[in-house]
Structure formats: structure tokens, C-alpha cells
Amino acid sequence: MILVIDNYDSFTFNLVQYVKQLDHQVKVIRNDAITIEEIRQLQPSAILLSPGPGTPDNAGICLDLVHFLHQEIPIIGICLGHQIIAQAFGAAIQKAQQPMHGKVSELYHDNQGIFTNLNNPLRVTRYHSLIVNDISLPNCFDISATTMDGEIMAIRHKQYSIEGIQAHPESILSDQGLLLLQNFFVTHSQTSTYLSEKIVANTLQP
């Protein structure tokens, strides 16, 4: 079962549909409606931190979730979820060079983790005005994707099963978003049975 922490965002529904397409059971809980111990009792195979408004400081239990569970359960963060992961490990969150709301751009990645076998550069849709500060990001993370201007678009923990992406893979204008999520579950979860070939066959290529 994949636990989706909903940060009060309309995109959460689209992410849930993607996870269901990957043949996973999904449980969706708001960020202020569960405790750390209750999460442990659920025994999810992975946790997805959804996008949302505001900052990591306003995201309910999410910072504590990453702090207490990052050694136990694979975690992927999308947009705000990505920022939550970074801040939980000590990184600063800052204003982006310019707000990106519904803008399509290209990110350049390292072809590993969630980006395995994806287009490079990868066309993604962005809805954010904040980014992770690269100088403050601790060295336990790899920067796995950036914009052409060098802004951080994705991070991957070097030891634990944790990845974050600033863009929205679930957006209809993003390429290969379903395969990106599948890459995470294949790499970090033991329960995924959906065939990558099937996803590729049903993913629009640019």
C-alpha cells in the first residue's frame, strides 16, 4: 500500500490516479489527520508527499514524518513534498528566480533513480515560486536534476530511499510522468508488479 499524504492540493487526486494505474493500493490522508505511530501501524510500502500551497513549515506532520521515518519507509516528494524533504534534512527554501505556475520547461537529470530511461532533457510542468537552496543542501543528497539555469529540480538521498522532484509528473503537459513514478516504486518498493514496458507503450513521447 502506498500512503499519500495530501497537503491540501488539487493535484493530489491526479497523483492518486497515477499510483492506482501502477496497480498499487492507495490510502490518502491529510497532513494534519495522522500521527507518526499511526503511519507505522499502516506499514506502507512507500510514502508520497503531495504538492500543496505554502511552505514546509505549514505542511502538518510532514517535516516530522521525514525526520522520524526516513530510515524505515521509502519517501518520494512532489513539489512542496520535495521541499519538505530538503528542509527536513536542513536545507533552506528560497524564492525561485521567477514564479513558475503552469509553465513547461526542461530539466536535465542524471539518468538514475526516478529518471532511469527517461528523456533527457525531460519536459515537465512546474507550479512553484520556491526552490531548494543548492548551497544549503546537505551532502547526503545528490542533486539529480536541474534546470538549464542551475536551479535544483530533483534530489536523491545517497543512503536512504528518498527522492524529491520540484516539477509535477502528474500534469498532462509533463512527459513520462507515470514512468517516473514507476521508477521510484520499482527501485524502492518490493510490491510493484506493473510492467515498465506497458507504461512506456502508453506514455506519450515528445
**pLDDT values of the chain reduced to their tens digit, one per residue, 206 residues:** 999 999 999 889 999 999 999 999 999 999 999 999 999 999 999 999 999 999 999 999 999 999 999 999 999 999 999 999 999 999 999 998 887 777 899 999 999 999 999 999 999 999 888 999 999 999 999 999 999 999 999 999 999 999 999 999 999 999 999 999 999 999 886 543 333 444 444 343 33
Its sign, for the CA torsion 187, 35, 65, 71, is: negative
Active site residue 82: no
pTM here is: 0.90
Query: Which residue in the list 82, 109, 170, 188 is annotated as catalytic?
Result: 170
Nearest of 99, 42, 102 to residue 72 by alpha carbon: 42
Give the strand pairing for 141-146 and 93-109: antiparallel
Q: Considering just the CA atoms, what is the radius of gyration of the chain in Å?
A: 15
**2-200 maps to CATH 3.30.300.30:** no
Q: What is the pLDDT of residue 146?
A: 97
- Distance in angstroms (rounded) separating the CA atoms of residues 178 and 201: 11
Active site residue 168: yes
State yes or no: cis peptide before 99, omega within 30 of 0: no
Active site residue 62: no
The answer to whether residues 167 and 123 touch, using CB atoms and an 8 Å cutoff, is no
Residue with cell 505511530: 37
Query: Which residue in the list 24, 79, 128, 188 is annotated as catalytic?
Result: 79
